[in-house]
Amino acid sequence: MAVGFSPKHEQIIELENLSKNEFIVIAQVVVKQLEWKPSYICETGFIAYTKFSMSSYGEELKVNIEGNTATIKSECAGSQMFDWGKNKDNVENFISRFNDIKNSFTKEELEEKYKELSLSFSPVDEDILNTAPLNTKQKITSFFSIFIPTEGYTITPIILNLNILVFAVMAIMGVSIFEPENQDILNWGGNFRPTTLAGEWWRLFTCCFIHIGIFHLLMNMYALVSIGVLLEPLMGKTRFLFAYVATGIIASLSSLGWNELIISAGASGAIFGMYGMFLALLTTNHIEKSARDAMRTSTIIFVGYNLLNGLKPGIDNAAHIGGLLSGMAIGYAFLPSLKQPNSKNIKSISIGAITVAVVVAIIIVFNSVSNDIGKYQEKMTEFTALEEKAVKVYSLPETATNEEILNSLNNDGLKNWEKCMALISEIQTYDLPADIQERNKALKTYCEMRIECYQLIEKAITENTDQYQPMIDSCNVRIERLINSLQQ
């Protein structure tokens, strides 16, 4: 079983008594018998793709002839981490079938078939034969090479390294690498509706570089590299980077509109955007037909699996879907500039139009999505400040006179508890989750108990009697129980 970016298996065989031309002819017969889809072919080799089945996800098979040997390599065309032995099976099936039939033809038959086959030859292009369409994947020769920018693979490692750097700095500053606290994620730029809609719009961007634990980071970075090596060389540096940022922001907006009290973070929204853009290209002729058929199947499987996995609690599937759909839209929007790569005007117009669309989306979301949660938080901050003033009576020195106590009860206590009641009444008009609404009811009861207790204390002082003390004690016990309940 092969593992890597991407899994592959390679084997070299001797041509023995066959010429290069004879080998190519027999190899093409094998491809036809195995029902693989031929793609590029020239006099020194060819590329073909296996069909999708239970035993294949559409791998790319390359045959390259040099001297008296032929290199047969099968490589996963999609985002698989494991190939479960498929690539080895492809190579072995090819070699086995080749050996079975290689003596079935006469020299004359092979020569005649070569004349027919040569009519479909493309010009010899070692770059195509040795690398395309999985060209950039060939540059990832070791674990460390995924972090190093190179031609066709520039923006992806920069984004990868930036995500890792942010995570490392967070860890150095004391954030847990396994289960970071919600407040830590929020402090470092997580996307949270009440905070983001309250004016901290930059969280739409920063949340794309914050990860909730090391496993979250590793899975996202694997997916980023898997799609980056395929998509970046097709899109170019500028389009790839712009699309990554744009889809990341749209994914954050989707999360913002869907989730009320979830702190969202991670690069997965933007990564789904890259997969969406790749899927869009795979429905066009920008990628050779046999290659896109193979890649489309494996990419759909990868995206479908991760969307289903996103149905689990705690996973922000709204961001995934928003990123995926926006990525597909941006992929189609960039298609005219991809067809005319030398036209800077078309690329600039595409980028400008997409920028306007993203800005409009931000304005719409910020003006249409309710931020009652944010208003609630502001009111609760105000509530806390009023409560601190209202309980100052309990901080009076033991030498305080009755007049000072009564003054504090009225001016610091009762007036501020009445203001707290007014805040709670206003909050009850907001569109809030059921658990917060229940908490507000409890807070209202808490304020009523405080007012009742203060009024009893005022009566006891004014009338100079202890007859209200049992009621005051009972009220304090009920207040303490309610406080404990609210804290839980």
Residues marked active site are found at 268, 320
Residue with tokens 């997580």: 190
Measured torsion, CA atoms of residues 150, 153, 158, 163, in degrees rounded to the nearest 10: -140
Quote the radius of gyration of the chain (alpha carbons, Å).
33
First to last CA, the chain: 51
C-alpha–C-alpha distance, residues 28 and 138, integer Å = 24
C-alpha–C-alpha distance, residues 418 and 339, integer Å = 69
C-alpha–C-alpha distance, residues 346 and 354, integer Å = 12
Three-state DSSP class for 69? strand
The long-range contacts involving 452-461, CB below 8 angstroms and separated by at least 24 positions, are: 453/479, 454/393, 454/409, 454/413, 454/414, 454/417, 455/414, 457/405, 457/409, 458/406, 458/409, 458/410, 461/402, 461/405, 461/406
C-alpha–C-alpha distance, residues 423 and 387, integer Å = 12
C-alpha–C-alpha distance, residues 136 and 228, integer Å = 9
Is the distance from CB of 226 to CB of 79 less than 8 angstroms? yes
In the structure encoding, which two tokens stand for residue 286, read together?
């920008």
